[in-house]
Amino acid sequence: MSEFVTENRIWDSAETMPHDELRALQLERLTQTLARVAEVPFYKEAFAKAKVGPDNIKTLDDLRRLPFTTKADLRDHYPLGFLAVGRDRVARFHGSSGTTGKPTFVAYTKEDLSTWADLCARFLVSGGLRPEHTVHIAFGYGLFTGGFGLHYGVERVGAAVVPASAGNTQRQIMLLKDLAADVLVCTPSYALTIAEAVGAMGIDPKELSLKFAHFGAEPWTEDMRAQIEADMGLLAFNNYGLSEVIGPGVSGECAARNGMHIQEDHFIVECVDPETLEPVQPGNQGELVFTSLTKQAMPIIRYRTRDIAQLDPAPCPCGRTGIRMNRVVGRTDDMLIIRGVNVFPSQIEEALLRVEGTAPHYLIEIGRPGTLDEVKVHVEVRSKDLSDKMSHMQALRDRIGQEIHSITGIHADVHLVEPQTLERFVGKAKRVLDHRTET
C-alpha cells in the first residue's frame, strides 16, 4: 500500500461509489448515450454495418459488440460529422492539432463544460488543490484542451488562476515569483524547461511558493517526476485525457500516486490488444479504448486512443473506486520499430535518467543509411559533469548505451552534446526525428 503524499481529500462522493452501483450507473448512462448517437450518420452507418443497435446492448459486456471509432473516422467526417446536437446547443469548440494539417474538432454543450470542470476539479483536489491556492496554468489556451480545461477545473474548486498560457519562460518565472502560485500546471517537459530557466536565472526554487504540480498531455517517466520534484521542490501529480474523449479529466492520480483513477462514472474503459483488438488480461499492457457516458455534444463510442497502458483493478487505499491506469508508456503511432524491435521513446528517457550526469533533454534520430536501421541518441550533459577528459566522457557514453540496451534491447549510437544545445519545448515535446519516414 502506497503512503499518501498529501491529505486524501475527495471532491465528489461519486468517486467512491460502490462497484455494483457504478456498473448500474454505467449501463444506464450507456443506454442514454446510444440513444443520443442514434441519429449521428457515422454511428447509424457503423452500427448497421456491424448489425447491432442500441436494442442489442442489454449489459455492459454487450458493449464489445459495437464497432470501434478511430481518429481516421473523425478525420473522414471533418469538421463536425460527429455532432449529436444542434449547433444552437454548442457552447464551445476545441481541437487536437493534427500533425497532418487539419485538426479534429470536438464540441461541448453548456452541460458538457460543467461536467468537464467537475472532472478536472476531482483530480486537482486529489492532488492537493485547495480553494485558498493560486494555480499557474502554463498550458496553451486555444483549441488545445489543456489551458481552458484546467482553468475551469481550478475555478470550480474556488482557487485563483494565473492564466499564463505557454511560452516566454522568463516571464512565466517572474509571474510564478511575484504572484506566489502554489500549484503549477503544464506539460512535464515544459516543467523541465521552467526548472532549468529558474536555475539559469540564479533563482533558488525555494524563492517560489510552488507546492504541487499537475502534469499531463504527454508521456513521462517516474524518474522524470523525481527529477522535477527535486529541482523545483514540489510534489508532481500525473493526469491524463484526450480531446476526443473530453480533454484533461479522464483520469488522474490520487494522493497514493500509484496509477491514475479513471472517472468511470463518465467513461467506460477497455484495454485491448492493438493487433487482435481482443481484451488483454488485467495487468497486461494494451491500447486504451474509451466510451463516453455523459457527453452531449459529441459522445464517442469505443474510441481507440492508440495509448498503451495497463489497467489495475486492485482497490486503492484512497477509497476511490474508479479503476486505475498506469503511466502511458507511449502511443502505438509513436512506437519505433528498430530492426524489428519495438521501442517507445519513454524507454529511452528512462534509460537516460538512470545515468547520473545527463540532463533529461534528448533527441532520438533514426535513419536507414544502408539496409539496416541505425539509431543515434543525442543527450545533453549537465554543465557540472562536462569534462575535458576523453575517458570520462567515453565512460558516460558507454553507460548510457548499456542502459538503453538493457531497457530496450537495441544498440544506440550515443552522442553527448553540450548543455542547452537541444530544443526546449513549451507544449508537448517532440523527441524523435525519423529519417526513414522522409520521402
Stretch binding ligand DLL (CB under 6 A), from 50-58, 242-250, 268-276, 389-397? 242-250
Comparison of 219 and 357: residue with beta carbon closer to ligand DLL: 219
Instruction: Report if residue 69 touches ligand DLL, rule: CB under 6 A.
Output: no
Instruction: Report if residue 248 touches ligand DLL, rule: CB under 6 A.
Output: yes
Instruction: Report if residue 308 touches ligand DLL, rule: CB under 6 A.
Output: no
Q: How far is the CB of 311 from ligand DLL (least distance, A)?
A: 15
- Measured CA to CA, the distance from residue 400 to residue 58 in angstroms comes to 54
List the one residue from 218, 287, 349, 350 that touches ligand DLL (CB under 6 A): 218
List the one residue from 109, 243, 310, 347 that touches ligand DLL (CB under 6 A): 243
Instruction: Report if residue 318 touches ligand DLL, rule: CB under 6 A.
Output: no
In degrees, to the nearest 5, what angle opens at C-alpha 93 toward C-alphas 88 and 94? 165
List the one residue from 165, 238, 291, 292 that touches ligand DLL (CB under 6 A): 238
- Measured CA to CA, the distance from residue 149 to residue 376 in angstroms comes to 37
Calculate the CA dihedral of residues 178, 6, 240, 211 and round it to 10 degrees. 10
CB-based contacts of 340: which residues, under 8 Å, 6+ apart? none
List the one residue from 307, 349, 350, 380 that touches ligand DLL (CB under 6 A): 307
| Beta carbons of 414 and 345 less than 8 angstroms apart | no
Q: Which of residues 117-156 bind ligand DLL (CB under 6 A)?
A: 139, 144-146
**From residue 240, how far is each of 149, 217, 320 by CA, in Å?**
12, 6, 17
Comparison of 219 and 299: residue with beta carbon closer to ligand DLL: 219
- Residue whose C-alpha is closest to residue 46's, from 23, 18, 74: 74
Comparison of 40 and 166: residue with beta carbon closer to ligand DLL: 166
Question: How many CB atoms are closer than 10 A to CB 18?
Answer: 9
Instruction: Report if residue 263 touches ligand DLL, rule: CB under 6 A.
Output: no
Instruction: Report if residue 254 touches ligand DLL, rule: CB under 6 A.
Output: no
The DSSP output letter for 296 is: S
Comparison of 248 and 345: residue with beta carbon closer to ligand DLL: 248
Q: Which of residues 359-418 bind ligand DLL (CB under 6 A)?
A: none
Stretch binding ligand DLL (CB under 6 A), from 232-240, 296-304, 352-360, 382-390? 232-240
Instruction: Report if residue 259 touches ligand DLL, rule: CB under 6 A.
Output: no
| DSSP of 384-424 | GG--S-HHHHHHHHHHHHHHHHHHHS---EEEEE-TT-S--
Instruction: Report if residue 169 touches ligand DLL, rule: CB under 6 A.
Output: no
- Measured CA to CA, the distance from residue 209 to residue 268 in angstroms comes to 38
- Measured CA to CA, the distance from residue 428 to residue 345 in angstroms comes to 13
Residues binding ligand DLL (CB under 6 A): 96, 139, 144-146, 216-219, 238-243, 247-248, 305, 307, 328, 331
